[in-house]
Amino acid sequence: MPDVGEGLTEAEILKWYVQPGDTVTDGQVVCEVETAKAAVELPIPFDGTVHALLFEEGTTVDVGQVIISVRTGADDDAAVQEAVPAAEEAAAAASAPAAARQPVLVGYGVSEASTKRRPRKAAPASAQNGTSAPAVRAGAAAAAPAAQNGTATPAAVPAQAPAEPDARPLAKPPVRKLAKDLGIDLAAVVPTGEGGVVTREDVHAAAAAAIAPQAAPAPAAQAPAPAVAAPVAAQAPAEAGARETRIPVKGVRKVTAQAMVGSAFTAPHVTEFVTFDVTRTMKLVQELKADPDLAGLRVNPLLLIAKAVLVAVRRNPEVNASWDEAAQEIVLKHYVNLGIAAATPRGLIVPNIKDAHAKTLPELSQALSSLVATARDGKTSPADMQNGTLTITNVGVFGVDTGTPILNPGESAILAVGAIKLQPWVHKGKVKPRQVTTLALSFDHRLIDGELGSRFLADIAAVLEHPRRLITWS
């Protein structure tokens, strides 16, 4: 696992793009990992043939641990045979309880404690036959090369422990931990993996059968289903009968939770609201969509709201600042990196448009479209989420009128945009149906006092109420 930067010490393997036996070339992407900040694709720095994948998808791995072995030539078989058992030791440590793991410093490799195998209970057959734990481990380590050479499963089992109903089942450490957490006896699971290895899907299928035995009297693994079907079968009984479901908090969701707690209880929040008529802005949006100069560009209310925020920042530059706790100073920013909160399957992320203050309307539209598309694909890089100054969160797309948003850590303000709805409104002395919305501005009261925050919010509303101010105030 390479050092992916940003001070991160671990990453979760999301997806493998190669399998043992595949040919790889230098620079080819072999897997996708998720750090606490983003999903990153990892290239392989070798030409050769994949020998083994040492960690399964869904496993969290420390920086510096071996995750894949590749044969780069005919003379490196001995090196591979030495590397695989060592990596399996690391895999066993990765699946141990959190208290037993020691996070590493980036650039210093994995600590010695992270490569120790946790104690295992001897299987009944091993105890009866006098087989020691190292002998069992040696047999498991030999299973992968044997499978590649076409060796049958019984040949990969140690001679001291012949294939019997009570023999120790073959399974990777993460799968053993999953079975332990679900209360599944691996000896009772019918394996479907290559070489007779028990897979995660086998464990999930066994768990589903245990919950609803009357619906599946025969073992589920007798008729192997596609890999995507097993998790669904495991989830359905849980949704029907389980009273609770525990979801591990990791990756983007974990760091977001930590950041929000830190922001909420560090920066003194103040939130102000304004409700106003945006009918003219909505008409301008329709006109811009038909403008040949903006053909092919995405034009929506968020684009003009972002432009209004930038105009308001120019009129109130003191809002664009940050708090330096160590130096006890306010750092005034002469650039605007405008953050856009995006809801993704992996959690809330806030990428930002660098130097948004210097962009024209077409350039801002292109930047917004690229930002949203990249976030939806899960390809937002850590650099895209750094050094933001202000953020916009559009809760109106969910039909919500407004909210009290929490500051993105290190930023001075965040603007929540509510739903734009037709409402009765007094216009030119008469009650008429008008397009109305509510904005909510949360700001750090150490940086922005009430007067400055009120003027900033009022200027945003004034631009959107009379969009000609996009020209007269620029």
Q: Which residues are catalytic?
A: 445
Hey, what are 328's tokens? 């006890």
Pairing of strands 321-324, 29-34: unpaired
CA 390 to chain centre: 22
Beta bridge partners of 415: 392, 441
Distance set, CA 437 to CA 287, 307, 421 (Å): 20, 17, 7
Pairing of strands 390-394, 413-417: parallel
Which of 454, 435, 434, 432 lies closest to 443, judged by CA?
A: 454
Which of 261, 251, 345, 372 lies closest to 8, judged by CA?
A: 251
Which of 291, 416, 465 lies closest to 362, judged by CA?
A: 291
Which of 175, 219, 181, 212 lies closest to 197, judged by CA?
A: 175
CA 162 to chain centre: 43
Instruction: Check the CA dihedral 261-263-265-269 and report its sign.
Output: negative
Alpha-carbon distance of 393 to 413, in angstroms, equals: 11
Which of 418, 394, 408 lies closest to 442, judged by CA?
A: 408
Would you state the torsion angle of the CA atoms of residues 219, 223, 228, 233, taken in this order, to the nearest 10 degrees? -40
